[in-house]
Amino acid sequence: MCPHHARGTIRRQEQETQQFRQEDDNIGVTTTEETEIGEIRRCAGCHRFEPKFASSSKHFVDVGDSDTGRCVCLACCRTLVTTSDEAIPLWERVLNFFEGPLGLITDEDSISGVSRQSLKSIPVILVGLNALNDNMKKHSDGVHHKSSQIMTRGLCLSEFCGHTTESVAVTAILCLSGLPADLTASILAHECCHAFLKLHPNFRYGKHLPLMVEEGLCQLVAFLFLNDGLESCDTSTEDDNTPSDAKLRQYFKFCIETDEGIYGEGFRFAARAYAEMGMQELLYYIALNRDFPPIND
Ligand SMILES: [Zn+2]
Ligand SMILES: [Zn+2]
């Protein structure tokens, strides 16, 4: 049990003890105090609260992420992705999206761009929250800052080759395990965009892009992928209280659009520019100016 949950339990126990005492004092009074609710868990995928007082069949499922207390709701649990093997088809789909609709990568090696093979050869590894956080600390190179809704759920690891800063190798992409498939896929699309920027000759020389520009661009790719890169999904559910896969996907897009941090701010700039100029031209503009184009109202 994580310290946070331990605290919740202790508090609850104290409250329960207190309530029993009160009941002793007021025999016959059986009102339930609101304070006994204690801590309510939230789904790691869709952020819904666990219906604590519903039947145990509706309780959330522990994702088995040692000590972090992460759990998912039954809707997110339907498509849970827990192993790196399960992520392979999702990564394929992301690459198809980069090659097809976005037109950003080529089937064959080229010196002027990024090939499908160079992205395909990057190991995609699903890890628990602790491993992801450890790697974050080790590789904190300014990319991936905290955001209000979008906590870090993926990481693109790279290193310079040789003694120059001109050649970069992407060594791995890490993604948080125990999330629903659509969310996992959108995280992979976001990280794939980081990898693309690191490998593309127009971007890899010199220093990083400004954080808001790079994260905004990656969030735009994740959003477009949720919109157009996945198979159409189920709109039906077994009961009214459980969202359908289509509703969940809509929520994941909503989170990207409404984030109040630097990710959301970057996304909104990127989305407006994309609507005006398309992806290729937007990337070309950013390579030259290291910023989004000014917004014309
Ligand atoms: Zn959920
Ligand atoms: Zn990012």
Asked if 49 contacts 29 with a C-beta cutoff of 8 angstroms, the reply is no
The verdict on 153 and 205 lying in the same domain is: yes
- Whole-number average pLDDT of the chain: 83
Task: Look at 18-32, 56-70, 227-241, 276-290 and tell me which has the smallest mean pLDDT.
Answer: 18-32
Verify that 163 and 93 share a domain, yes or no. Answer: yes
Neighbours of 202 (CB within 10 A): 14
* The total number of structural domains that make up the chain: 2
Greatest distance between any 2 Cα atoms in the chain: 82
> How far apart (Å, rounded) are the C-alpha atoms in residues 154 and 192?
10
Report the separation in Å between the CA atom of 231 and the middle of ligand 2, taken as the mean of its atom positions. Answer: 24
Asked if residue 281 and residue 163 are part of one domain, the reply reads yes
Do 265 and 118 lie in one domain? The reply is yes
- Among 50, 75, 100, give the residue marking a domain's end: 75
pLDDT for residue 266:
97
Rounded to whole angstroms, how far apart are CA atoms 102 and 221?
9
pLDDT tens across 274-289, in order? 999 999 999 999 999 9
Residue 46 CA to ligand 1 center (angstroms) comes to 4
Q: Parallel, antiparallel, or unpaired for β 154-160 and 168-176? A: antiparallel
Residue 130 confidence (pLDDT) above 80? yes
Instruction: Give the Å distance between the CA of 66 and the centre of ligand 1.
Output: 19
Distance between Cα 127 and ligand 2 center (Å)? 17
Ligand 1 mean position, distance from CA 71 (Å): 9
Are 101 and 222 members of one domain? yes
In a domain, 4, yes or no: no
Task: Say yes or no: 199 and 56 in one domain.
Answer: no
pLDDT above 60: residue 28: no
- Confidence class for position 205, pLDDT limits 50, 70, 90: low
Ligand nearest the Cα atom of residue 42:
1
Q: Give the residue numbers spanning the domain of 147.
A: 80-230+245-289
Task: Count CB atoms within 10 A of the CB of residue 78.
Answer: 16
- Claim to verify: residue 216 and residue 268 sit in the same structural domain: yes
Residue 151 belongs to some domain of the structure: yes
Does residue 64 share a domain with residue 100? Answer: no
d(C-alpha 105, C-alpha 192), whole Å: 11
Same domain for 280 and 172 = yes
Q: Which ligand is nearest to the CA of 143?
A: 2
- Distance (angstroms) between ligand 2 centre and the Cα of 51 equals 32
On whether both 63 and 191 belong to a single domain, the answer is no
Q: How far is the CA of 215 from the centre of ligand 2 (A)?
A: 5
Render pLDDT for 172-182 as a digit per residue (tens, 0 to 9). Answer: 999 999 999 99
Q: What is the pLDDT of residues 66-105, one digit of tens each?
A: 778 899 999 999 999 999 999 999 999 999 999 999 999 9
Whole-angstrom Cα distance, residue 182 to residue 79? 8
Instruction: Indicate the range of 90-99, 143-152, 167-176, 286-295 predicted with least confidence.
Output: 143-152
Residue type, 80: L
Give the ligand at the shortest distance from the Cα of 193.
2
Q: Measured in angstroms, how far is the CA atom of residue 76 from the centroid of ligand 1?
A: 4
Could you give the 3-state DSSP secondary structure of residue 265? helix
Residue 251 falls inside a structural domain = yes
At residue 233, the pLDDT reads 84
Which stretches does DSSP call E strand in the chain? 61-62, 71-72, 80-81, 105-106, 114-115, 124-127, 154-160, 168-176, 179-180
**Mean pLDDT, residues 199-227:** 90
Do 51 and 94 sit in the same domain of this protein?
Answer: no
Place 151 in a pLDDT band, splitting at 50, 70 and 90: low
Taking the centre of ligand 2 as the mean of its atom positions, its distance from the CA of residue 238, in whole angstroms, is 35
- The pLDDT tens digits for 44-61 are 999 999 987 878 888 899
Question: How far does the centroid of ligand 2 lie from the alpha carbon of residue 49, in Å?
Answer: 26
Give the ligand whose atoms come closest to the C-alpha of residue 173: 2
- The number of angstroms, rounded, from the C-alpha of 246 to the middle of its chain's C-alpha atoms is 17
